[in-house]
A and B are shown apart, each in its own frame.
Chain A
């Protein structure tokens, strides 16, 4: 009998508890749009914050809430990911060119000599707060690797030979965490370009030419030669510093050889044979 009572009483209390729980669950039920889960499944789930939301789930919620794909873009997943999301949402999505992080400093240990020894806490932000830095250039890379620590995709490392961060192109998702981490705003998100070809000014020094050159061999001295040679008005000179607008740049590469300090960098281009003829031809085609 005892056994029967036990089974019965426990079963009854279990059923009562289940009913109460069911009723409470019904009362406080939250209707969640199933599309949130579907959208979230299409996202890279890196929770890097590149979209402007704290995580992928929040991004998915925001999309479903807005019921529109305008102003929503996941730079990590790129167009493919957004196409998948647009299939779920049955909406048009914005197409964007693939981007990549670019380090705009070439102040390697040999180009930019150290003039003092920094002995404090080993982070870039603290060194920037403390003084102008251990070289004469108060704009360039400090080299303590806060950007590398901030990268959620392991797409960066510090090169011990140069003392500068290197971006691994295959891994970089242009999430922009390194841009936020760098206290000197050296890293920029630029267009990846066709076949990863791109041209950029690898310097952020705003000093006058002489001072900049004294502190670093490959500094932009603001001479303006690149501005004059550019057929597309893509280069602007402000505060003794040239900047190439990647939207306007047609990758003609005319500016690269004219730079007297080799501050303008190009990558993934085929080697030049007859640079001048080739550039002229290109220029005619596009203008």
Chain B
């Protein structure tokens, strides 16, 4: 690809650069045909699961509220299809564990009459800041990058803190994934309006959009729509994983460092981070009154027949997506929800699409198994590649032998689970597996201490 941007910004420590494999980058976003049944988990987001407000046998239209958010950090769920509620049952999610799920049998495609379904661009923002936040909350929008944090919470800046920058994550640093890339190429104008809406909601006038420089066409497209608008600035970023992590993004865009977790948030340094996919959902919710009922998903892999980008109704079983992309290749060893670096391998292809699912990656047998674990040779590669400046080899050893207090002192909780250490390790050590275990245990110990 052309590298027109020599002075691309980036974060300062660590990071790896796996091969891009953006196989579906030139595939336009296609509408996925409606499935027969959709499965909508009530807990698709971080925080309290939503409470179902529909009953078995009730008919619903697209966009109807079916589960109400319960609590501050929570998000409502809307029906993504029209049809009849078959039952409310326990269905496996990405982890394989059963979760409360509303199952809807599809009948036709009737939309809630309040939703504007026309493609007409609506530029003027009529709502006030508070109304915008209210609408985003009611639309059940969560971050579409992967973590699925309820978006409206980020817009409610806590007292004593001040937002200065809206930082938009359009880096799409995960290899293989192209959903955000296609979105920027095809819906550029809508995205600019979406950013303006968020600026208005936050009452600030400086937005920075970080795009990795392997997406030159996206940078040019968005730039052409911005024109002389000084409120929005496109900043090319170096192609380096994990450029899209919020700490790395804020460092690259505004050169500030977010204080360490668990308390440090982007707002502490005056930034509010949104994923570019979320911006589009915000545009649709505010201008078209459309709740979050569909999202764009990349279905890709070297062996799959047609790597594609689909606009999918949330709740569609992923087996339908694989079918639409040309069926499951014979030698598939792993199906991953998300990208290859942070994604989760699935143990069933019957699980439904959730709000946080950005891609579906099929890896062949030869690429899906880990190599035998060898002894740590103290090469220090994990230390140089860790974007948070931790010592993964040490933290792993401490966790393995149960020294959790020492692991806590070595800042195990700062780990963002990006997986650079495991990726780079020449001895194939399962560093991140143990660090995750350590993080969970340390958090448990801290919670117990707090109780006392």
Contacts and interface: CB of A to CB of B under 8 A. Distances in A.
B344 interface: yes
B434 A126 contact: yes
A116 interface: yes
B369 to A, nearest CB: 6
Interface stretch (A97-105, A131-139, A229-237, A264-272): A131-139
B260 to A, nearest CB: 22
Contacts of A238: none
Nearest to A134: B347
Given A119-B369, A131-B347, A134-B347, A125 B437 contact: yes
B115 interface: no
Contacts of A132: 92, 95-97, 347
Contacts of B347: 115-116, 131-132, 134
Interface string A117-129: 0011101011001
Given A126-B437, A129-B440, A120 B430 contact: yes
A130 B369 contact: no
Contacts of A133: 96
A175 to B, nearest CB: 17
Candidate in A129, A131, A133, A134 with the most chain B CB atoms within 10 angstroms: A131
Contacts of A115: 347-348
Contacts of A125: 437
Interface in B265-316: none
B231 interface: no
B154 interface: no
Contacts of B430: 120-121, 126
**Dominant SS at the A interface?**
loop
B430 to A, nearest CB: 4
Interface residues of A, number: 16
Given A121-B434, A123-B437, A131-B347, 9 more contacts: A120-B370, A121-B433, A126-B437, A129-B436, A129-B437, A130-B95, A130-B436, A138-B96, A207-B98
Contacts of B434: 121, 126
A107 to B, nearest CB: 16
A126 B436 contact: yes
Interface of B: 92, 95-98, 344-345, 347-348, 368-370, 430, 433-434, 436-437, 440
A162 B129 CA distance: 62
B300 to A, nearest CB: 21
User: When A and B form their complex, which 7 residue pairs have the shortest distance between CB atoms, in order from nearest?
Assistant: A132-B96, A121-B433, A121-B430, A116-B347, A131-B96, A131-B95, A120-B433
Contacts of B95: 130-132
Contact of A130 (B92, B98, B370, B433): B433
A134 B346 CA distance: 11
Contacts of B98: 138, 207
B92 to A, nearest CB: 7
A70 to B, nearest CB: 25
A138 B347 CA distance: 12
A238 B139 CA distance: 38
A132 B345 CA distance: 11
A228 to B, nearest CB: 27
Contacts of B96: 131-133, 138
A120 to B, nearest CB: 5
Nearest to B334: A119
Contact of B97 (A116, A119, A138): A138
Contacts of B433: 120-121, 126, 130
Nearest to B441: A125
Nearest to B97: A132
Contacts of B97: 131-132, 138
A119 B370 contact: yes
A138 B368 CA distance: 23
Contacts of A129: 436-437, 440
Nearest to A115: B347
A126 B441 CA distance: 11
Nearest to A135: B347
15 contacts: A115-B348, A119-B369, A121-B433, A121-B434, A126-B430, A126-B434, A129-B440, A130-B95, A131-B95, A131-B97, A131-B344, A131-B345, A132-B96, A133-B96, A134-B347
A132 B92 CA distance: 9
B367 to A, nearest CB: 12
Interface in A231-250: none
A133 B98 CA distance: 12
Nearest to B333: A117
B432 to A, nearest CB: 9
Candidate in B97, B369, B433 with the most chain A CB atoms within 10 angstroms: B433
A239 to B, nearest CB: 12
A97 B381 CA distance: 56
Contacts of A119: 368-370
A206 to B, nearest CB: 10
B373 to A, nearest CB: 8
A37 B193 CA distance: 79
A130 B440 CA distance: 11
A130 B337 CA distance: 13
B345 to A, nearest CB: 8
Contacts of A138: 96-98
A169 B347 CA distance: 37
Contacts of A134: 347
A96 B368 CA distance: 53
Contacts of A207: 98
B438 to A, nearest CB: 10
Interface string A173-216: 00000000000000000000000000000000001000000000
